[in-house]
Structure 1
Amino acid sequence: MKRNVLIIGAGGVAQVVAHKAAQNNDVLGDIHIASRTVSKAEAIIASVQEKGAMKQAGALKAHALDAMDSAAVAALIRETGSQIVINVGSAFVNMTVLEACIDTGAAYIDTAIHEDPAKICETPPWYGNYEWKRRERCKAAGVTAILGAGFDPGVVNAYARLAADEYLDTVESIDIVDINAGSHGKYFATNFDPEINFREFTGTVYSWQNGGWQSNRMFEVGREWDLPVVGKQKAYMTGHDEVHSLAANYPDADVRFWMGFGDHYINVFTVLKNLGLLSEQPVTTAEGQEVIPLKVVKAVLPDPASLAPGYTGKTCIGDFVKGTKNGQPREVFIYNVADHKEAYEEVGSQGISYTAGVPPVAAAMLIATGEWDVGSMVNVEELPPQPFLGLLNRMGLPSRIQDETGDRALEF
């Protein structure tokens, strides 16, 4: 059994992680939150205390930390006695935090793929550029490292595995669809870190089709999806983390990721990109100041965490998985619907943060109990999905399935 959790990061997702960890501290033990700006971690602690989220009395502490300093991360792991690290900081710190976990033996969980600040959209498979290069070291050290354990990537990976194991004999395609039908009431904002959000959409759109990597431009391929609760929604094929691991684990299937965008978002994004304001490369102003345009845009946009109080509407995220069963064609849609207002009322964050923040806590609980403490590096689809999805059912992210027999809740 592993106990005591160190949460890296103090944004909207970290707030959800802290609340859910507090609600389950009988399993997880002490909770520590680390951020470069310690006041942000302290604000999360105040929110947890205000909501009375702690299931039982226990440690809940804030720490100042530069997560780009691997030695400092390792020192804090040792100081706090943390045996599980949930990394929900910037995608730029993944490797330094992972290195600290390999050094100390702590289990590692993240929710997104590592990114080099100076590079956008590297050669696929993306996990092969950084994470998977450390597989053997994790195995040699007996370190459990669960990659991409948010919702997408994360829960959608578990949905693909569940479909392949229980509902299909062969898998021909996996289409992951992410629709946010909510409204934050701002002229323009992103639902998570604007820098990471825009980097995701300025590069090549990679999909795995016909046994190989296919490339497209952003917003080049779109289609309408008819989904439960949110109805008919336009979504565009987008490059995304889970495509790169699912393609490795299901190489005979086409794997695509689709995200919903409104016309207003596309128009603003296109203007910013065409003006060069989404570039990660530095430019020099007339006054001689060197700035990175993308970071300037991030600085002037609303903090995603600030959107939560006024956010309304719902999200629908899930997998359409096609294949055969008993020699006949079959398709299943396994999905979750989340509500922005309900998320805010429970944990003070909007629904996008909620869907990303609950799953890594479920993964941490499965490491704590030993069910997912595998002593090696894995992506979520390489683990049994039933205990994970069963926990999520009870923690606020219930799963449903739609097939030829109708639409029903999934019970585990």
Structure 2
Amino acid sequence: MSTVLVIGAGGVSSVCVHKMAMNADIFSDIHLASRTKSKCDTIAASVKQRTGVDVATYEIDAEEVPAMVNLIKKVQPSLVVNLALPYQDLPIMDACLAAGVDYLDTANYEPKDEAKFEYSWQWAYHDRFKQAGIMALLGSGFDPGVTSVFTMWLKKHKLKTIRTLDILDCNGGDHGQAFATNFNPEINIREVTAPARHWENGEFVETPAMARKVEFDFEGVGPKNMYMMYHEELESLAKFNPEMERARFWMTFGDEYIKHLTVLQNVGMTSIEPIKYKGKEIIPLQFLAAVLPKPETLGETTKGNTNIGCIATGEALDGSGEKTFYIKNICSHEAAYEETGNQAVSYTTGVPAMIGSAMVVQGLWKGDGVFNVEEMDPDPFMDMLNKHGLPWTVEELDGPVNF
């Protein structure tokens, strides 16, 4: 059994901490910290009510490395689980290095002043983590995370090589709001408005944001428009599957979301460039995020399913020629809320964060240095998905998809 320190108190953190408490045989002591302690207290109260498990809470600014080091030394966890904002990845990694503790996150580093998320900054920590004899596990959410593990499971059990890969992320839920994001608004909008990039013939090809739209019929949801965009697992999947000819990421958005986002973008509300307002400097996107509904408040009203998976084509392991497989999970917003008080977008990221943490603290995934989930054995992670609320299915398709 292990002590863990979770940083961040949003919807994903709430799910992760609830699920950790439901697995007390793995996580003996759970500690939760964020900039706003009252948010931690709210999560802790829900966990206590649902599971009977006590969660210790703290106030911390994750960007203050000395304070983080002091908190880690006070708690003495075997793992720090970073579920804060991507801007805070590097200071939390610095704190883990200084304290000599393993690290895990669900999303790669992104600088505050540029909508650019990539792994280079975190991969650069590999030698320091290796020398310290500790592990950093990157991207243990759903995408990145489960989609990465799905891909490597297919490569271990079904395909000798992967020629093409399409990751399909569909949220078929309806929260009843005119416009709201299902995870941190600032991160969500920065992702969506950034130029699209996909991997093709050994390099990334850039296209305008939201320029490529395809309709796809998702099981448990129905036909939805999905848009090609960039997502960080494309970078790591391309690195660990050098034979891959093409890899793309698709995400669904409703017409109302696109309409509102287009207007907000046109009037400058999605900008991350500081402006002066009544003598104070503000960032429009941060102001917008402050007035939008909080993702953690959407659980009660959100109905429907998510459907997230991978379609991979490549040379079959059994030597029977080229084959295409579709591996996916369908998650109910209502079931997620009933279990943890959070909607399925938070659930599908928070559960894999718990599972990745279990892999590390139990020693099923181990190593000295910085690693992505693609580098680990997919099998124990896949087994835990089935047991802890995210069951998956795999099917062989008639042939490659032609989007």
TM-score, length-scaled by structure 2: 0.95
Please report how far the alpha carbon of residue 231 of structure 1 lies from its aligned counterpart in structure 2 after TM superposition. 2.7
Preserved contact between residue 161 and residue 243 of structure 2 (Cα < 8 Å): no
User: Which residue in 2 is equivalent to 1:50?
Assistant: 49
Q: Deviations over 1:153-175 (max 9, x none)?
A: 00000011011111112210111
Preserved contact between residue 77 and residue 83 of structure 1 (Cα < 8 Å): no
User: Which residue in 1 is equivalent to 2:23?
Assistant: 24
User: Does residue 92 of structure 1 match 2:97?
Assistant: no
RMSD, aligned CA: 1.3
Distance change (3 Å), C-alpha of 1:105 and 1:250: same
User: Does residue 69 of structure 1 match 2:60?
Assistant: no
Q: Deviations over 1:338-385 (max 9, x none)?
A: 000101110000000000000111111111211112222111111000
Amino acid at match of 1:205: A
Q: In 1, distance between residues paired with 2:197 and 2:249?
A: 9
User: Which residue in 1 is equivalent to 2:114?
Assistant: 119
User: Which residue in 2 is equivalent to 1:307?
Assistant: 298
What are the within-5 Å matches in structure 2 for residues 257-336 of structure 1?
257-285=249-277, 287-325=278-316, 326=319, 328-336=321-329
SS at match of 1:26: coil
After the TM superposition, which segments of 4 or more aligned residues of structure 1 sit over 6 Å from their partners? Answer: none
SS at match of 2:125: helix
What are the within-5 Å matches in structure 2 for residues 322-361 of structure 1?
322-325=313-316, 326=319, 328-361=321-354
User: Does residue 365 of structure 1 match 2:358?
Assistant: yes
Q: In 1, distance between residues paired with 2:240 and 2:382?
A: 20
Please report how far the alpha carbon of residue 288 of structure 1 lies from its aligned counterpart in structure 2 after TM superposition. 2.4
User: Which residue in 2 is equivalent to 1:408?
Assistant: none
Task: Identify which of 146, 165, 181 aligns with 2:172.
Answer: 181
Q: In 1, distance between residues paired with 2:249 and 2:93?
A: 26
SS at match of 1:280: coil
Amino acid at match of 1:86: V
Please report how far the alpha carbon of residue 404 of structure 1 lies from its aligned counterpart in structure 2 after TM superposition. 4.4
Preserved contact between residue 121 and residue 204 of structure 1 (Cα < 8 Å): no
In structure 2, runs of 5+ residues without a counterpart are 399-403
Preserved contact between residue 110 and residue 360 of structure 1 (Cα < 8 Å): yes
User: Does residue 195 of structure 1 match 2:190?
Assistant: no
Q: In 2, distance between residues paired with 1:318 and 1:142?
A: 34
Q: In 1, distance between residues paired with 2:161 and 2:276?
A: 55
In structure 1, runs of 5+ residues without a counterpart are 406-412
Please report how far the alpha carbon of residue 115 of structure 1 lies from its aligned counterpart in structure 2 after TM superposition. 1.0
What are the within-5 Å matches in structure 2 for residues 226-265 of structure 1?
226-253=217-244, 254-265=246-257
User: Does residue 146 of structure 1 match 2:117?
Assistant: no
SS at match of 2:299: helix
Preserved contact between residue 326 and residue 397 of structure 2 (Cα < 8 Å): no
Q: In 1, distance between residues paired with 2:374 and 2:224?
A: 27
TM-score, length-scaled by structure 1: 0.93
Please report how far the alpha carbon of residue 227 of structure 1 lies from its aligned counterpart in structure 2 after TM superposition. 2.7
Identical pairs, percent: 39
